[in-house]
Amino acid sequence: MIETRLLQYFLAVAEEQSITKAADYLHITQPTLSKQMMDLEASLGKQLLIRGKKKITLTEDGAYLRGKAQEIISLIEKTENSFHEGEQTITGDIYIGCGEFRSTYAIMKIVCSIQQENPGINFHFFSGNGDLIIERLDKGLLDIGILLEPEISPRYDYRKLPFCETWGVLMRKDSPLAARESISAGDLSNLPLIVSNQTFNSNQTNAFFEENKPSSHVVASYNLIYNAGLMVEAGMGYALCIDGLINTTGDSPLTFRPLASTFHPSLYLFTKKYQTFSKATKLFLTRIQEEILF
């Protein structure tokens, strides 16, 4: 069994790319740390480190272990913090995974209010698509997920939030399509599209885009919207995205046009079934119920 201490040592070496620098950071001797790393490799039966003249790099197995070690250490810290909550004052950490949605502004207002009233509560947001958020929720690295029309699974409890999002097309203001009030699938025929990985995270969303699939080609995909905006601005193509995430006002060279449809997917908050929540997380869920779900 790998000790947590060894994982912390390994992460320090991976970060510093040097046994000497990592040893200084950890306040142990260089020979001790070097032996610990060799013992770790021996126990796993894998080479983790490539010891170069100027720096240490990770092997493929080393990179894999670094990812897992970070998850393990994060989960341990999260668990320890939940036990350190005060009896009178609510403290602790809340871990929330969320896609990029304009309507989460209402949730952020609740986050701000809770934090002002309970300065000992810290919020940690992880932005990503559905697959990444669900993976981290399954591993216990997140308490709550907020996604657009997630695929319903018996492993989770769902709360439908009273918010809908509008899908549309982000384009340059000098595009011919910018003169239209809305965009149809036919308008996108033979145009280069930049699509969001988030687009296909649920059966309902996927089915809609399959039914209305334009005869165009996908030139790029994106995870978060900022880089998609840069691609559109550079003239690479048209980005399918959600309204309100990119500034299209003033001097911005970009504009947004909604899809010509009645498809407005809803936002869902979901948690693992039978999950035990910290006091801080219970407070957050209660406020969501009182102020948003009523």
Residue 108: band (very low, low, confident or very high) from pLDDT cuts 50, 70, 90: very high
pLDDT, greater one: 255 or 84: 255
The confidence band for 145, taking pLDDT boundaries of 50, 70 and 90, is very high
Inform me whether the pLDDT recorded for 52 exceeds 70: yes
Give the CA distances from residue 76 to residues 82, 94, 228, 271, in Å, rounded to whole numbers and listed in that order: 10, 14, 35, 20
pLDDT, tens digit, 9 for 90 and up, residues 176-227 = 999 999 988 788 888 999 988 765 444 545 555 565 555 568 899 888 889 9
Residues 107-126 have a mean pLDDT of 94
Per-residue confidence (pLDDT) for residue 288, from 0 to 100: 94
Amino acid at residue number 232:
V
Number of other CB atoms surrounding residue 165 within 10 Å: 23
pLDDT in tens, 227-261: 999 999 999 999 988 898 899 999 999 999 998 87
Nearest by Cα to 215 from 190, 233, 196:
190
Q: What confidence score (pLDDT) does residue 148 get?
A: 84
Residues 177 and 171: beta-carbon distance below 8 Å: yes
Predicted confidence band of residue 80 (pLDDT cuts 50, 70, 90): confident
Mean pLDDT over 57-76 rounds to 88
Percent of the chain's residues with pLDDT above 70: 90
Average pLDDT of the residues in 128-146: 88
* Overall pTM surpassing 0.75 (yes/no): no
Task: Give the pLDDT band of residue 1 (cuts 50, 70, 90).
Answer: confident
Looking at residue 207, its pLDDT comes to: 54
Q: What pLDDT shows up at residue 174?
A: 95
Provide the pLDDT confidence category of residue 86 given band limits of 50, 70 and 90.
low
SS (H, E, C) the chain: CCCHHHHHHHHHHHHHCCHHHHHHHHCCCHHHHHHHHHHHHHHHCCCCEEECCCCEEECHHHHHHHHHHHHHHHHHHHHHHHHCCCCCCCCEEEEEEECCCHHHHHHHHHHHHHHHHCCCEEEEEEECCHHHHHHHHHCCCCCEEEEECCCCCCCEEEEEEEEECCEEEEEECCCHHHHCCCECCHHHCCCEEEEEHHHHCCHHHHHHHHHCCCCCEEEEEECCHHHHHHHHHCCCCEEEEECCCCCCCCCCCEEEEEECCCCCCEEEEEEECCCCCCHHHHHHHHHHHHHHHC
Name 71's Cβ contacts closer than 8 Å, sequence gap at least 6.
139, 141
Q: 237, 151 in Cβ contact below 8 A?
A: no
* Mean pLDDT, the chain, integer: 86
Inform me whether the pLDDT recorded for 42 exceeds 60: yes
User: Does residue 16 surpass a pLDDT of 60?
Assistant: yes
Nearest C-alpha neighbor of 134 from the set 122, 119, 125, 147: 147
Overall size of the chain counted in residues? 294
pLDDT higher than 70, residue 77 = yes
Alpha carbon 273 to its chain centroid, in Å, reads 21
CB 121 within 8 A of CB 115: yes
Position 214 scores a pLDDT of: 55
Say how far apart CA 254 and CA 252 lie, in whole Å: 5
Burial of 130 (0-12, 13-18, 19+ CB in 10 A): buried
